[in-house]
């Protein structure tokens, strides 16, 4: 079986955009309004000749009751299935309480975690990415899933962790 890479994080941080960037095609559903993405969709991806299963997650209604709890629950399921986790944070927003909750799930799992500091569309947002060292998950990999910035380095780190 192929190694499984799960992409987790709050709604609207750009998980599905990142999945599409990695796939090189627009297959995952990207929504301006958070909460519409289907739950746990698996895709087959290839990077540097190495194939892996890419797991997109989402589908919570952020206005709904117990949103944070459902995000952590979803992360737990995805992490259980994963060999490596890509944790996506919106660097322009910074770490929220919900992000901290996901971090606790990730730590407990013992799985390798690659931190993607997304929405770093230009050099002026690099400092936002660096602030995410505070999450204690190691180096924040600055990426712009929208424009492709940094996605190659991120994938190198992901495949190194498999
Ligand atoms: P998800 O809910 O985490 O899957 O997030 P989506 O991939 O659906 O993206 C949510 C919104 O963020 C969409 O409007 C995307 O176009 C936008 N977005 C995603 N990545 C980036 C990025 O790198 N930069 C900017 N500026 N916007 C992004
Ligand atoms: Mg999504």
Measured CA to CA, the distance from residue 88 to residue 69 in angstroms comes to 17
CB 98 within 8 A of CB 61: no
pTM listed for this prediction: 0.92
Nearest ligand (C-alpha, residue 17): 1
| Half-sphere CA count of 35, side-chain side, radius 13 A | 10
Query: Which of the residues in the chain have pLDDT under 50?
Result: none
Exposure string (b/e) for 111-143, b if CB count within 10 Å is 16 or more? bbbbbbbbbbbeeebeebbeebeebebeebbbb
Tell whether residue 39 is among the known ligand binding residues.
Answer: no
Q: What residues flank ion ligand 2 with Cβ within 5 A? A: 15-16, 37, 58
ipTM of this complex:
0.99
Can you name the CATH fold of 4-161?
Rossmann fold (3.40.50)
Q: How far is the CA of 125 from the centre of ligand 2 (A)?
A: 22
Tell whether residue 35 is among the known ligand binding residues.
Answer: no
Q: How far is CA 49 from CA 7, 46, 60, 112, in A?
A: 20, 6, 34, 21
Residue 65: predicted pLDDT: 66
Nearest CA to ligand 1 atom 10: 12
Q: How far is the CA of 146 from the centre of ligand 1 (A)?
A: 7
Residue 137: predicted pLDDT: 96
Residue 21: predicted pLDDT: 96
Nearest CA to ligand 1 atom 2: 12
Q: Map out the domains of the chain as residue ranges.
A: 4-161
Q: How far is the CA of 74 from the centre of ligand 2 (A)?
A: 13
């Amino acid at each position: 079986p192929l190694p499984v890479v799960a992409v987790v994080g709050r709604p609207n941080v750009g998980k599905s955009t990142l999945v599409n960037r990695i796939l090189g095609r627009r297959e995952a559903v990207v929504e301006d309004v958070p909460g519409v993405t289907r739950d746990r969709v698996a895709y087959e991806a290839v990077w540097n000749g190495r194939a892996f299963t890419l797991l997109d997650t989402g589908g919570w209604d952020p206005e709904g009751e117990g949103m944070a709890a459902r995000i952590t629950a979803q992360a737990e399921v995805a992490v259980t299935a994963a060999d490596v986790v890509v944790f996506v944070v919106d660097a322009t927003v910074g770490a929220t309480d919900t992000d901290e909750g996901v971090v606790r799930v990730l730590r407990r799992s013992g799985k390798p975690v690659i931190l993607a500091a997304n929405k770093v569309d230009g050099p002026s947002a690099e400092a936002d990415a660096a602030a995410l060292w505070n999450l204690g998950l190691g180096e924040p990999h600055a990426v712009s899933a929208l424009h492709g910035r940094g996605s190659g380095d991120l994938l190198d780190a992901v495949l190194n962790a498999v």
